[in-house]
Amino acid sequence: MTDNITSVGGGSRPEAGVSALKGRTGAGAPAETRGRTTIADGVVAKIAGMAAREVPGIHSLGAGMARAFGAMRERVPGAGAGGGGGGAVTRGVKVEVGERQAAVDLDVVVEYGVSIVDVAGGVRTNVISAVERMTGLEVVEVNIAVDDVHLPDDDEEQTEPNEGRVR
């Protein structure tokens, strides 16, 4: 009989992040234990980014400069989200993926008026649940840096310059 290995981690590192989840293989082994599964770091980052954005009170992810560059990149034809890189989803998300565990760092912007403590708790719960459910990895920590508070009138100030001053 041979060992079944489930691999988790960066796709370009051949032996880095190989999980020790092993099982017996062969004719008598269940089908789900035969073979090898590899999960790239970027997959975990996308899952964490999507899960964080689902929490009420989160305006966006990414520190100020990352959001500014991301917004510019999305306006340039061919350089935005259509490039297949998923940059907007993973903006503000950093992950470290090991053999059986993952750690997640998030930079977030919260809506004005919400409890930051409650939002952070909700983000941790949602990210841990999604990553563990979808990848089988144990999430050991989710670190959250609140970089900004989105004010309700921020959207109005951004639309006024496009309208012009004189009518």
Q: What is the pLDDT of residues 84-135, one digit of tens each?
A: 455 789 999 999 998 899 999 999 999 999 999 999 999 999 999 999 999 9
Instruction: Determine the pLDDT at residue 49.
Output: 97
Q: How many CB atoms lie within 10 A of CB 41?
A: 21
What is the per-residue pLDDT across 133-156, written as a single tens digit (0 to 9) for each?
Answer: 999 999 999 999 999 999 988 765
The angle at the Cα of 68, spanning 67 to 73, to the nearest 5 degrees, equals 95
What average pLDDT is seen over the chain?
Answer: 78
Find residue 57's DSSP bridge partners.
none
Q: Is this prediction's pTM over 0.85? A: no
Span 5-18, average pLDDT: 46
Instruction: Determine the pLDDT at residue 18.
Output: 39
Q: To the nearest 10°, report the CA torsion of 163, 164, 165, 167.
A: -80
Please check whether residue 97 is in contact with residue 15, taking contact to mean a CB–CB distance below 8 angstroms: no
What is the per-residue pLDDT across 42-51, written as a single tens digit (0 to 9) for each?
Answer: 999 999 999 9
In what helix (H) or strand (E) does residue 62 lie, and over which residues does it extend? none
Instruction: Determine the pLDDT at residue 22.
Output: 54
The stretches of 8-153 forming alpha helices (DSSP H) are 41-53, 64-75, 87-90, 116-135
